[in-house]
């Protein structure tokens, strides 16, 4: 399969939001190399069709993209982000009025991509 900047098999909103993210990151000099969308793996969050992996070429690009996603989280309807061994969640969506960047203990520490899940 060819690499793409358009995620495959995801919800309409996930695809629309990802197009905006890819466009804005490129315009600001932090291009996304390619995007992964749906996965049928039973161990993957990507089965819900609301997750994307934004593949990056450097930690600096990933750091910038994390900041961008956090700034635009309401507009982009972001549920959570994983990057460089940390997970950011919007706890307001579970009734708790705060955001948190916490250590992520999954086996994949997400050093080559920013993982993002959307609400819809």
80-89 per-position pLDDT tens digit: 999 999 888 7
What lies within 8 Å, CB to CB, of 23 at 6+ separation is none
The answer to whether residue 49 sits within a structural domain is yes
Our count of domains for the chain comes to 1
pLDDT at 14: 97
| pLDDT greater than 80 at residue 19 | yes
The answer to whether residue 104 sits within a structural domain is yes
Task: Give the DSSP per-residue string, 46-87.
Answer: GGGS-EEEEE-SSHHHHHHHHHHHHHTHHHHTEEEEEETTEE
The answer to whether residue 4 sits within a structural domain is no
Which residues span the domain enclosing 114? 12-118
Per-residue pLDDT band at 120 (split at 50, 70, 90): confident
């Amino acid at each position: 399969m060819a690499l793409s900047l358009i995620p495959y098999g995801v919800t309409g909103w996930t695809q629309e939001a990802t197009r905006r993210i890819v466009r804005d990151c490129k315009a600001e000099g932090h291009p996304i190399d390619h995007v992964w969308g749906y996965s049928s793996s039973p161990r993957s969050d990507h089965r819900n069709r609301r997750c994307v992996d934004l593949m990056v070429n450097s930690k600096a690009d990933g750091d910038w993209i994390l900041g961008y996603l956090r700034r635009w989280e309401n507009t982009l309807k972001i549920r959570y982000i994983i990057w460089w061994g940390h997970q950011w969640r919007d706890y307001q969506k579970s009734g708790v009025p705060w955001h948190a960047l916490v250590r992520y203990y999954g086996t994949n520490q997400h050093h080559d991509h920013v993982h993002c899940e959307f609400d819809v």
